[in-house]
Amino acid sequence: MKMRKFTALLLAVVFCLALLAGCGTKTVPATSASPEATSTVTEGKVLNFWIWNDELRSRVNQFYPEVESIAEDLSTTTLKNGVTIKWTVNPNQDNNYQNKLDEALLAQDSAAQDDKIDMFAIEADYALKYVDSDYTLDVKNDIGLKDQDLSDQYDYTKIIATDSNGALKGVSWQATPGLFIYRRDIAKAVLGTDDPATVQAALSTWDGFDATAAKMGAAGYKMLSGFADSYRTFSNNVSAPWVTGTTVTVDKNIMNWVDQTKTYTDSGYNNKVQELWSPEWCADQAPGSKVFGFFYSTWGINFTLMGYTLDTAVADGGKLEVGNGLFGEWAVCEGPQSYYWGGTWMCAAAGTDNQQTIKDIMYYMTCDKDTMKAITEDPSVQDYTNTVSGMNELANSDFKSAFLGGQNHIALFASAATKIDMSNISAYDQGCNEKFLKAFQDYFNGTIDMDTAKANFETAIKETYPEITDVVWPA
């Protein structure tokens, strides 16, 4: 396989340094071109799987039918075919996961076979960096999944993981449309009802959302936790990609978010929390908080919010039932605009000697309808999974979420998933979004003016991407 040179567009700093050192090309070990060929190759005994948190590992350990045993410390998972999955976990914070992954991939050729990365996880925000490179294998031509296997997956999940030559380079067990999740008790106190349809009527436009924020403020509550809470809903509804050629164009909808967030901050409609995942943000989802709601996609409800909102964690003996913190005191509605947030894709690394096992994991975890429906139906998980027909079946059933007070949230997610538009994604998304959010924090806090915030963004984005020459702001 002939390797392409990575460009600055697609690489993290460590990759760029490697290019400067003359490491722009490399030879990837030959891989089989068909599942038939793969099946004749002896599988390696160790499958190195790189991840950034426990979400993917827990899904595999709980739902992959070929699991034989799991190490007590969760560091390894032994499969029935004798292959041992060795999990390498590097948290995302400060780009730690990508930096270490990049370094390991650059050393892939020289690594011992049982030390090579075989599979690794990626997120939507930086997917193209890995997808559009030869460090990832073609899911169909190299690994052996067929179009028929993949036919029931949401199209957008395949678009995100498709390279510039049309090759599918990653698969996901989940789809991640977003909704607005709100406190039922606060809705009753301020709006007079917690009924999702009635709440949605109040929040169906941004004007209505703002009017409700004013009502929340007047009643002593906060509409949102902080600055970044509504950002994804605005940034997913832009009219063009961040970058064209060497020019960054700040979309009008991004500036609409700036205007709203400044108003909310100055008016006391948010809690002035600066960053998602901060202790303050997590606390705003806990019992005792006066924050009305959060923009969350599918994984956010059970995998994230539920843990923050319990008085007693499950690990400490708490039960997933009404009476434990705010369990049952939440509901979801569509909110003012459709959006998506995040998602985790599995990629096969070039150089792996575990292609048959990788194919089997990818099939059962992302193509098998029964497995994915089981993930959604499990009360402790209820992830929205990547099976169109399976989710439509649950949307039209008597499925209920106890955490959401008996609501069938799958029906709302199924509707939102069809509206996801991937036409404006680019390899610059992670950097532009992160630098923009950071540049405007001081503006929201009132310590700098708008012009200074804009100048700070321009400086930061040009330092991050030296090829950027211009930044254009809406009139």
26 — pLDDT class (breaks 50, 70, 90): very low
* Calpha distance 230→254 (Å, rounded): 11
> CA end-to-end span of the chain, whole Å?
48
Closest by CA to 437, choosing from 281, 285, 261, is 261
| 26 vs 372: CA distance, rounded Å | 37
Residue pLDDT, tens place only, 265-298: 999 999 999 999 999 999 999 999 999 999 999 9
Do the strands 46-51 and 270-273 form a parallel or antiparallel pair, or are they unpaired? unpaired
The two three-digit tokens of residue 77, written as one number: 């998972």
What is the overall mean pLDDT for the chain?
Answer: 91
**pLDDT above 70: percentage of residues in the chain:** 91
pTM comes to 0.86
Class of domain 178-339: alpha beta
pLDDT tier for residue 27 given thresholds of 50, 70 and 90? very low
Residues 293-332 have pLDDT tens digits of: 999 999 999 889 999 999 999 999 999 999 999 999 999 9
Q: At what angle do helices 196-203 and 206-218 cross, to 10 degrees?
A: 110
**Equal fold, 13-175+342-393 vs 178-339:** yes
**Across residues 246-262, what is the average pLDDT?**
98
Q: What is the pLDDT of residue 408?
A: 96
In 3D, which of 397, 238, 379 has the Cα closest to residue 314?
A: 379
What pLDDT digit, counting tens, does each position of 435-457 carry? 999 999 999 999 999 999 999 99
pLDDT per position as a tens digit, 129-155:
999 999 999 999 999 999 999 999 999
Query: Per-residue confidence at 93, pLDDT binned at 50, 70, 90?
Result: confident
Distances (CA, A) of 274 to 223, 233, 265, 301, 464: 15, 17, 11, 21, 21
DSSP letter (8 states) at residue 45: S
Residue-range domain boundaries for the chain: 13-175+342-393, 178-339
pLDDT, tens digit (0-9, with 9 covering 90-100), for 156-189: 999 999 999 999 999 999 999 999 999 999 999 9
DSSP state string for 320-374: SSTTSTTTT-EEEE--SS--B---EEEEEBTT-S-HHHHHHHHHHHHT-HHHHHH
Q: DSSP states of 399-454 as a string?
A: --BTTTTTB-HHHHHHHHHTT---TT--TTHHHHHHHHHHHTHHHHHTSS-HHHHH
Given this model, what pLDDT does residue 35 score?
38
> pLDDT at residue 32 above 80?
no
Residue range 5-22: mean pLDDT, rounded: 35
What is the rounded CA–CA span in Å between residue 180 and residue 440? Answer: 24
390: burial class by Cβ within 10 Å (0-12, 13-18, 19+)?
Answer: buried
Q: How far apart are CA 103 and CA 3, in angstroms?
A: 17
Asked whether the predicted pLDDT for residue 25 surpasses 70, the reply is: no
Question: Interior CA angle at 328 toward 322 and 329, to 5°?
Answer: 120
Predicted pLDDT of residue 380: 81
In 3D space, the residue among 391, 339, 406, 400 whose CA is nearest the CA of residue 195 turns out to be 406
Full 3-state SS string of 49-98: EEECCCHHHHHHHHHCCCEEEECCCCCEEEECCCCEEEEEECCCHHHHHH
Distance CA 325, CA 286 (A): 8
pLDDT at 328: 97
Q: What is the dihedral of CA 321, 323, 327, 333, to 10 degrees?
A: 110
Task: Count the Cβ atoms, other than its own, within 10 Å of residue 22.
Answer: 7
pLDDT at residue number 146:
98
What average pLDDT does this structure show over 354-363? 98
- Those residues with Cβ within 8 angstroms of residue 279's Cβ, 6 or more apart along the chain or in another chain: none
Indicate if the pLDDT at residue 5 is higher than 60: no
Which residues is 85 bridged to in the sheet? 47, 77
13-175+342-393 has which CATH code? 3.40.190.10
Two structure tokens written together for 393: 């079946």
Tokens describing residue 167:
């090759």
Amino acid at 276: L
pLDDT at residue number 41: 58
Picking from 395, 453, 464, 118, the residue whose alpha carbon sits closest to that of residue 255 is 453
Is the pLDDT at 336 greater than 90? The verdict is yes
Contacts of 128 (CB under 8 A, 6+ apart): 10, 163, 425, 426, 427
**Helix axes of 206-218 and 252-267: crossing angle, nearest 10 degrees:** 10
pLDDT at residue number 253: 97
Give the closest residue to 142 by CA, choosing from 367, 358, 464: 358
Structure-block tokens of residue 436: 């923009």
